[in-house]
């Protein structure tokens, strides 16, 4: 349990990477963790495109303010919602969020680093065209990953007392942080 909590808390977004490639077995393990995420009716509405080719990666990078992160990463994984498989937009998107979090935790557990990129959704259709995905695929995120060159980041989170109520909204849940 201590180890589990530690893994979750010590993960942080990595945006700078070494140029070393990531072995396929590790990519497979990351995607294995993604596919075991929960989903409504177990519909598993996710699809993934692994982007390794540097030219395609550059084309995708050019669609976001965070182009440096993508250019710098040896590999990216574009995560899609497959509307042909979906049944409820909110629940399907929540499931895909769970899959992405599983990916980030797997990346961390493999001593790699990664970051969930969402700003690129402003150019969702351009990315979908570059990656040649079918009409039913909607881009949800791009995860950039690689071996980290970053030092431990200073991170913060709101305290539980700012977030949690007991029984009703007018009762704060009092707990020592």
Ligand X SMILES: Cc1cc2nc3c(=O)[nH]c(=O)nc-3n(C[C@H](O)[C@H](O)[C@H](O)COP(=O)(O)O)c2cc1C
Residues that bind ligand X in the complex, under the rule CB under 6 A: 12-13, 15, 66, 115-119, 153, 155
Between 33 and 41, name the residue whose CB sits nearer to ligand X. Answer: 33
Residue 13 beta carbon to ligand X: minimum distance, rounded to whole angstroms? 4
**Residue nearest ligand X (C-beta atom):** 118
CA atoms within 13 A on the CB side of 119: 11
Contacts with 41 (C-beta within 8 Å, 6 or more apart), sequence order: 87
**Alpha carbon distance 41, 164 (integer Å):** 28
Residue 141 beta carbon to ligand X: minimum distance, rounded to whole angstroms? 6
**Other residues' Cβ atoms within 10 Å of the Cβ of residue 105:** 17
Between 13 and 43, name the residue whose CB sits nearer to ligand X. Answer: 13
Residue 144 beta carbon to ligand X: minimum distance, rounded to whole angstroms? 9
Residue 42 beta carbon to ligand X: minimum distance, rounded to whole angstroms? 23
Between 28 and 126, name the residue whose CB sits nearer to ligand X. Answer: 126
Neighbour order of strands in the sheet with 75-82: 46-51, 75-82, 137-146, 113-117
Between 9 and 18, name the residue whose CB sits nearer to ligand X. Answer: 9
**Alpha carbon distance 28, 23 (integer Å):** 9
């Amino acid at each position: 349990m201590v180890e589990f909590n530690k893994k979750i808390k010590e993960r942080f977004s990595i945006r700078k990477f070494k140029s070393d490639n990531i072995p396929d077995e590790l990519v497979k393990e990351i995607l294995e963790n993604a596919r075991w995420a929960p989903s409504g009716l177990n519909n598993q509405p996710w699809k993934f495109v692994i982007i390794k080719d540097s030219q395609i990666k550059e084309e995708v990078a050019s669609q976001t303010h965070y182009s440096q992160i993508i250019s710098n990463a040896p590999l990216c994984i574009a995560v899609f919602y497959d509307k042909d498989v979906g049944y409820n937009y909110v629940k399907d998107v929540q499931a895909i969020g769970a899959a992405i979090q599983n990916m980030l935790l797997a990346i961390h557990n493999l001593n790699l680093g990664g970051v969930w990129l969402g700003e690129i959704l402003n150019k969702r259709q351009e990315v979908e065209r570059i990656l040649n995905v079918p009409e039913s695929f909607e881009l949800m995120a791009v995860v950039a990953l690689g071996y980290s060159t970053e030092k431990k980041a200073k991170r913060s989170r709101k305290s539980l007392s700012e977030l949690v109520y007991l029984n009703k909204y007018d009762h704060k849940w009092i707990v020592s942080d």
